[in-house]
Structures are given as structure tokens and as C-alpha cells.
Homo-oligomer: A and B are copies of this chain.
Amino acid sequence: MDLPYTRIKGGVCAARNFHGNAVSCGIKDPSSKRLDLSLIYSTQECRSAGMFTQNRIKAAPVRISQSHLRAENIRAIITNSGNANACTGPNGMQDARNMTKETARLLKLKQREVAVCSTGVIGLPMPMMRIEPHYGSLVDGLDPKKGDQVAKAIITSDTHEKEFAISLEIGGKRVRIGGCAKGAGMINPNMATMLCYITTDAKVSQSCLESATEEAVENTFNRITIDGDTSTNDSVIVLSNGAADNKILRRGTKDCSNFTHALQFVMNKLAKAIVRDGERVTKFVTLEVKGARSHLDAKKIAQAVANSSLVKASWNGNDPNWGRIIHAVGYAGASIREELLNISYGTKIACEGGLQSSTNPEVLRNIVSKPEFSITIDLGLGEGHYRIYASDLSPEYVDFNRSEYAYWKQARQDGLV
């Protein structure tokens, strides 16, 4: 059993000695006041761990942050939204480097203690002339109560900010873990187009922090899909500053395992919030595959079903269309035996032994009509299982993603392209 967690306020600044701030630079839209540049900062030294996109096209800030993370002591993260700084060549690398350099200078840190993240349109040069005038006010305004400002500033097409924090007792001390995340589009394992920052005041050894981050990401952010498109900028960064003054959590101990579960609990809340707030999403579907010959087979099937346009369109249409699900099961490349396959919506069986069950289709239709439901695919072959959180595909998603051309127009107006 997990330890009891207490939900607390403060998001990514809920843990002691973490400050945040966000300002509006006009990167998202020069004519609006939307927050688009943010900073997270620990007033004391940190241990840090991170996981980044598996896309082979990596944005400049991903490369810079990965390199800085090698020193394992990141204690500030600067983020802009509205431009991904991806496919921007040596200039983009210089822009990302400058963002960490200026932040470090003002905070009196080493440059390698600062990570940088960007999210937004791919392929356009960074409008640095919009960002540069704001470093001073960004740093000056740092405050332990501004976690929500950071959460607001990192979002793009999300409809609302996503933050969550808990406290729990470990090693005789109350420690806090909090975070914020953004998602909305280009969401797919591994790792979804997303940014997530988690801070904790627990004192954690480097190896416990890394193993906990890896395990928690694998079970949360790597289990969600909205559109099947893995982005160039995905980043999860975890900072631990030890302000709780607990006995250090070391890998392999019960305490480290408890910390891992708590970290996963926070990440799971944020990961599910990303799916629920996917672009023009109307359904949150928990897809369970079990009885597979292997874990990998279960994963292949879960991903094929969760990414099938036709399956997702049927969810949007409240259609308990198990025929489309079984067709995606069939092309997933996993071992199956058609006559052993069961598919259930909620607790009601729709397909039994590969055939239409006797369940009244209206009963199934009522389940799929709800905004949240689960689907279980039982292959009846073995012990392999996998869970994924998926969304529907709506006509509105496609309409929403038809064009980003306005960004190009703005970039030309700015003389950037």
C-alpha cells in the first residue's frame, strides 16, 4: 500500500525554497498579454534528473538542457512558449544557450545549473528581441507563491494550466512533491509533446532520483496518447533541493521506493490531465490490454488501438464499435488467437471469443457515450498486460490543426524569415 498523501497547494512551487515567476513577452501573440516566459528557481542547490524526447529531431533547448543535466545540479529552468526553437540550426543553439546564460548571470549561478525548454511552432527562428528585455523582471519577480503563474505560462493550445502537489511523511519528515505540465497536441509515447517540471524538497540521492524519475515517467507520461505524434521538445525535469532535511533517500531502500510511488502519483495526475485537455478531446479512455503472450505484445496492441483514427473516431461518435478495435488488434503485430479474444466496454462484454456478444448494443452505447470509460481487451493467451490513457479524435481536432500559417506571417513581419 502507498503511504497516505495529502494534497496541497502551490504546484511546482509547493516544495520549500522553490520560487517561480512568469511574464508576457508577446511570443505567442505580440498583441496579447498571455504569459509566455517563465522561470523556476531553487534558492538552494539541487540534485536533478530529466528525460527527453526520443524523436531524432531534437530542439535546441532539449540538447542544451541534456548537456547541462549531466552535471546533475540544475536548479533553475527557463521556459518560453509560442516557439519550439526546433530546426533552427546553430542560431537556435546560440539562442537557447543565451537564455541559460542570461538567467545564470542574473541569479548568480553557473550556466550549467540552468535548464531551458521551449514549446510552440517548429522551424521558425526564436524572436529573441521579444525575450531579451524581460530577463530582469522575470528574475526580480521570483516568488514562492507563483507556481500557478509558471503553470499558466508554459501552456500553448491547452485550455487550462495543469498543476498538482502532495505532501507525505518519509523518514520521519514531511516532504513535498509538486509539479506542472503542458500538453494538448503532438502527444504520444515516448514521451508526448509535453513539458513537465517536478520539484521536491525531499533529500534524495542522485541514483534514487534518477531511477524514480525513469520508473515514474515510464508508467505515466509514456502511457498517454492523443494524436500519435511524438514531438521534438518533450522534457520532464525533476529537481530535489533537500529542504525538508529528511534522512537522504537512497536507491534500493523502502524510502526510495515510497518516494518513487509518490512521484509517480503526481506525474500520473498531470499525465491524465494532459489527455483530458488534449486538443478538442471529448473522451478520456483507459485502455487495458491483458492476457497477452508478453508485455511487449500488450504494449503493441494498446498503442495500435489507441492510435487508430477509425477507433478514435468511433469513440467520438459514441459508437461501441468493437469491430474497429479488433481490426487494430489484428494489425498490431502481436500474437493473437481470434477465437480467444474478449473486448469489454466498462464491465460489459462486447466481443466474446472473437464474436459479437449477446450484450444489448444500447447498453454498450450508453457506456461509450460517457466522457470517461474504460475498454479491456483480453487476449486469453498469457500474462502480458499494459495500460494506456487515450483520447478520441474529433472533427474539431483536425479543424484546429489545419494551419499554423499565421505564425509564418508574423515571423515574416518580424523579419525573421
Contacts and interface: CB of A to CB of B under 8 A. Distances in A.
Interface of A: 54-58, 84, 86-89, 121-125, 185-186, 227-232, 308-310, 313-314, 316-324, 326-331, 336, 338-339, 351, 353-356, 361, 365, 393-399, 401-405, 408-409, 412, 417
A321 B401 CA distance: 11
Contacts of A310: 185-186, 227, 229, 401
Given A89-B354, A228-B309, A356-B417, A394 B403 contact: no
A321 B404 contact: yes
- List of 5 A-B pairs having minimum Cβ-Cβ separation, nearest first: A317-B402, A122-B323, A57-B330, A123-B323, A317-B403
Contacts of A318: 402-403, 405
A341 to B, nearest CB: 8
Contacts of A328: 229
Q: Could you say which of A185, A318, A356, A402 has the most chain B C-beta atoms within 10 Å of its C-beta?
A: A402
Contacts of A417: 356, 361
B56 A123 contact: no
A328 to B, nearest CB: 7
When all copies of this chain in the complex are counted, the total is 2
Nearest to A417: B356
Nearest to A55: B330
B404 A89 contact: no
Nearest to A125: B356
B87 A338 contact: yes
Given A84-B323, A88-B355, A123-B323, 5 more contacts: A56-B329, A232-B330, A313-B398, A321-B405, A395-B399
27 contacts: A54-B331, A56-B331, A57-B336, A87-B323, A87-B326, A87-B351, A87-B355, A87-B356, A89-B354, A89-B355, A123-B351, A123-B355, A124-B356, A186-B310, A229-B309, A231-B327, A232-B330, A309-B393, A309-B397, A313-B397, A317-B401, A317-B403, A320-B405, A361-B405, A365-B405, A395-B396, A395-B402
Nearest to A350: B123
Nearest to A319: B403
Contacts of A87: 323, 326, 338, 351, 354-356
A404 B322 CA distance: 11
A56 B412 CA distance: 50
Given A310-B229, A314-B403, A365-B405, A186 B327 contact: yes
A329 B123 CA distance: 14
A71 to B, nearest CB: 25
Contact of A229 (B58, B232, B327, B336): B327
A140 B130 CA distance: 78
A316 B361 contact: no
A249 to B, nearest CB: 35
A231 B351 CA distance: 18
Contacts of A84: 323
A355 to B, nearest CB: 5
